[in-house]
Chain A
């Protein structure tokens, strides 16, 4: 019983982290129509910023990481994507690969390719006793932080002018522009918020693993990509929920697979994803319309 509860908490925690990944990528995809692969690189840069700042008091560190990643995301949008606003989605995707290659190798050139240990937030690595079950503090923090972030984001999207403009742009970008929404401003806002989320994700990810390497953003961005498609293109809530689901499935497979099949966990996970997509090509939470309307 105790073990089951721990597994469930573990699943919810990993699910929350993946939900953050999915949500940040979905924001940019929804408004700017960019499948932004550089999102993973932004998380990676956040982790390196954390490494640089690790000796300062923790609120300064977290703030520094988040602001740094926001600035980076805005710079990526301005330099790489703004000149390509009218381009084909594939072109944008490749441009974002290029940005990702560039940032990853910048990190290698500056900090080296080897994995480094980070001593930050080690006080979070213990566990607390909740009703006889010991639960990792970090899991609780991940769940709480994700819930708080998503709540803030929801309030922002529903209650502020910029938030409403963002949602309008996600719904129908051309129409929103015709009604006076400033395209570049809305897209920049989406990149900034996705930067905040990437920064928080970077902190959680680094504390969780205690190490950092130049390729640490790859797994998160892969998960996020899958989450936005499984969740239903353009649906922010869908991507978040799908990210959560993928995290839970991943832990479930880890627990439930027989030991000799456990190394193949990812193969099973991704087969499941193909099966989900076959059943619902428009995504779990997407609308009914799949093909183009004539």
Chain B
């Protein structure tokens, strides 16, 4: 594949990645942490929801499992002895650094998701959604009550805050790349075929349950990564923050952006979290340059609700209408670009550069 064709094939993630990097540079790192976590969450949910067409309400549960797993893997031994004295031996040991903790937490959550997907992915439509919602309730109930592991309903503190905005940006880019690679892979394409027409896809030999299981596992792992990063960014965890409110927020991001495209997931996350950040500031009485209005408490959520309804009435299929970032160059520019690339000496002997 020539360089230009490769660029064109991988254009959506490249464009989205560049957009995110630019945005981070423009608004400064400190405001981007939350939006970047939301981007990873929305992309993670998209991997399953966007490709399979089933709505899942259980994914924030996987984020919670990832967050708690990450917390237990990275907390210093002394903190664990004080806060969680009844921790089982293998978790009480010495802490891991960030990247191994993320990988291990993702592997654990992936294993859980793979197992629960066996029964859950036999369901379709709203039954599947309600089953995943049940999963969310079960995870929440266990986190709330299993005090030896999670500290119960209170806040678990003392998690080392090692995550920076740059780390978040890197993981967001990885999530976007992985999601795109999956949706263009044979597995992703099979699943998308079943989304368009389940009966027809079965008729041509696609094992729908298996494809859904793959997507479910991959997307749960992405949610787990977001969970670990979230835990490490905040330094504390509360079980009740991983419940319906966050679930609706992430689902709303996906639907507002356009649930059928990766671009939609990223755009939805960026737009809704930008909206939230702006009104957070206004509520706190900080203005933007000459614009200083102080809003009463709760008005942010009210305006948020109105905004979501307005966007959906304006575009019921989401802002992107389920399309990816289009290739921005017209055919003439495109062919000029291609001939330019072809003029470059491409066939060099291996190992000898320049």
Binding site for B on A (CB under 8 A): 35, 79-80, 83-84, 86-88, 90-91, 93-95, 97-106, 108-109, 113, 218, 222, 225-226, 228-230, 233, 263-267, 270-271, 273-274, 277-278, 281-283, 290-292, 294
In the assembled complex, the Cα of A109 lies from the Cα of B283 at a distance in Å of: 13
Ordered by A's residue number, 27 sampled pairs between the chains whose C-beta atoms are within 8 Å are: A79-B309, A80-B309, A87-B317, A91-B255, A91-B316, A93-B55, A94-B248, A94-B251, A98-B308, A102-B309, A222-B133, A229-B126, A229-B127, A233-B126, A263-B141, A265-B141, A266-B137, A267-B141, A270-B138, A274-B134, A277-B127, A277-B131, A281-B124, A281-B127, A290-B124, A292-B199, A294-B199
Q: Is the CB of A101 within 8 A of B304?
A: yes
3 closest Cβ pairs, A-B complex: A102-B305, A105-B301, A87-B316
Q: Is the CB of B126 within 8 A of A98?
A: no
Contacts of A99 on B, CB cut-off 8 Å? 305, 309
The number of chain B residues with a CB under 8 A from chain A is 47
Contacts of B316 on A, CB cut-off 8 Å? 84, 86-88, 91
Contacts of A270 on B, CB cut-off 8 Å? 134-135, 137-138, 141
Q: Is B244 an interface residue (CB 8 A)?
A: yes
Q: Is the CB of A87 within 8 A of B252?
A: no
Q: Is the CB of A102 within 8 A of B199?
A: no
Q: Chain B residue with minimal CB distance to A272?
A: B134
| Given known A-B contacts A90-B55, A109-B297, A267 and B199 have beta carbons under 8 A apart | no
In the assembled complex, the Cα of A277 lies from the Cα of B316 at a distance in Å of: 30
Closest CB in chain B relative to A43 CB, distance in Å: 15
Interface of B is mostly: helix
Q: Chain B residue with minimal CB distance to A35?
A: B126
Q: Is the CB of B138 within 8 A of A271?
A: yes
Contacts of B133 on A, CB cut-off 8 Å? 222, 225-226
| Given known A-B contacts A273-B130, A281-B123, A104 and B313 have beta carbons under 8 A apart | no
In the assembled complex, the Cα of A196 lies from the Cα of B308 at a distance in Å of: 27
Q: Is the CB of A102 within 8 A of B301?
A: yes
Closest CB in chain B relative to A88 CB, distance in Å: 7
Contacts of A233 on B, CB cut-off 8 Å? 125-127
In the assembled complex, the Cα of A270 lies from the Cα of B304 at a distance in Å of: 31
Contacts of A103 on B, CB cut-off 8 Å? 305
Q: Is the CB of B134 within 8 A of A109?
A: no
Contact of A97 among B248, B298, B306, B313 (CB under 8 A): B248
Contact of B248 among A80, A84, A101, A290 (CB under 8 A): A101
Given A98-B309, A105-B298, A263-B145, 17 more contacts at CB 8 Å? Answer: A91-B317, A93-B251, A94-B251, A94-B252, A95-B312, A98-B305, A99-B305, A102-B309, A106-B302, A229-B129, A229-B130, A263-B141, A266-B141, A267-B141, A270-B135, A273-B134, A292-B199
In the assembled complex, the Cα of A270 lies from the Cα of B133 at a distance in Å of: 9
Contacts of B296 on A, CB cut-off 8 Å? 109
In the assembled complex, the Cα of A260 lies from the Cα of B153 at a distance in Å of: 16
In the assembled complex, the Cα of A106 lies from the Cα of B301 at a distance in Å of: 9
Q: Chain B residue with minimal CB distance to A290?
A: B124
Q: Is B335 an interface residue (CB 8 A)?
A: no
Q: Is B299 an interface residue (CB 8 A)?
A: yes
Q: Is the CB of B119 within 8 A of A274?
A: yes
| Given known A-B contacts A225-B130, A274-B135, A90 and B259 have beta carbons under 8 A apart | yes
Contacts of B119 on A, CB cut-off 8 Å? 274, 278
Closest CB in chain A relative to B100 CB, distance in Å: 30
In the assembled complex, the Cα of A223 lies from the Cα of B259 at a distance in Å of: 26
| Given known A-B contacts A90-B55, A94-B252, A109 and B299 have beta carbons under 8 A apart | yes
Q: Is B198 an interface residue (CB 8 A)?
A: yes
Contacts of B298 on A, CB cut-off 8 Å? 105-106, 108-109, 113
Q: Is the CB of B312 within 8 A of A98?
A: yes
B88-144 contacts to A, CB under 8 A, are: 119-120, 122-127, 129-131, 133-135, 137-138, 141-142, 144
B283-305 contacts to A, CB under 8 A, are: 296-302, 304-305
Q: Chain A residue with minimal CB distance to B248?
A: A97
Q: Is B67 an interface residue (CB 8 A)?
A: no
Q: Is the CB of A90 within 8 A of B313?
A: no
Contacts of B265 on A, CB cut-off 8 Å? none
Closest CB in chain B relative to A246 CB, distance in Å: 11
Closest CB in chain A relative to B203 CB, distance in Å: 9
Contacts of B123 on A, CB cut-off 8 Å? 277-278, 281
Q: Is the CB of A102 within 8 A of B302?
A: yes
Q: Chain A residue with minimal CB distance to B54?
A: A90
Q: Is B256 an interface residue (CB 8 A)?
A: yes
Give B237-267 as 1s and 0s: 1 = Cβ < 8 Å from A's Cβ atoms. 0000000100010011001100100000000
In the assembled complex, the Cα of A24 lies from the Cα of B199 at a distance in Å of: 33
| Given known A-B contacts A222-B133, A225-B130, A270-B134, A105 and B305 have beta carbons under 8 A apart | yes
In the assembled complex, the Cα of A270 lies from the Cα of B145 at a distance in Å of: 15
| Given known A-B contacts A94-B312, A267-B141, A226 and B126 have beta carbons under 8 A apart | no
Q: Is the CB of A101 within 8 A of B137?
A: no
